[in-house]
Amino acid sequence: MVSHMKTTFNINDTLMQQLRLEAARRGITMTAIVESGIRHMIANGEEKPNEVRDEPFELPSWPMGTARVDIANRDELYRLFDEEESWS
């Protein structure tokens, strides 16, 4: 006898849409795809999915030069805003 347990998962909206489309394309249920993925991970001894990270990744940065104004100085900020408005 085969038994099934109904459960709830939180899935990213984009991934859920991809799951729906793939299930429809293959003519199978979303459950079948999810179960297949879980079985695959277990069979291959994968510790965690490729997209899961222990540490957050570093965001890119660009050299921006030195600060043009001390943001704690309100008068300097207003002066800079007025200058930039005249550029447009």
pLDDT band of residue 88 (cuts 50, 70, 90) is low
Phi, psi of 75 (to 5 degrees): -60, -40
- Please state the domain extents for the chain: 13-43
pLDDT digits (tens, 9 = 90+) for 21-61: 999 999 999 999 999 999 988 898 877 666 655 666 777 88
Q: How far apart are CA 30 and CA 33, in angstroms?
A: 5
DSSP readout, the chain?
A: ------------HHHHHHHHHHHHHHTS-HHHHHHHHHHHHHHTT-SS-TT--SSPPPPP-----S-SS-TT-HHHHHHHHHHHHHH-
Can you give the pTM of this predicted structure?
0.51
| φ, ψ dihedrals at 11, nearest 5° | -125, 135
pLDDT at 54: 60
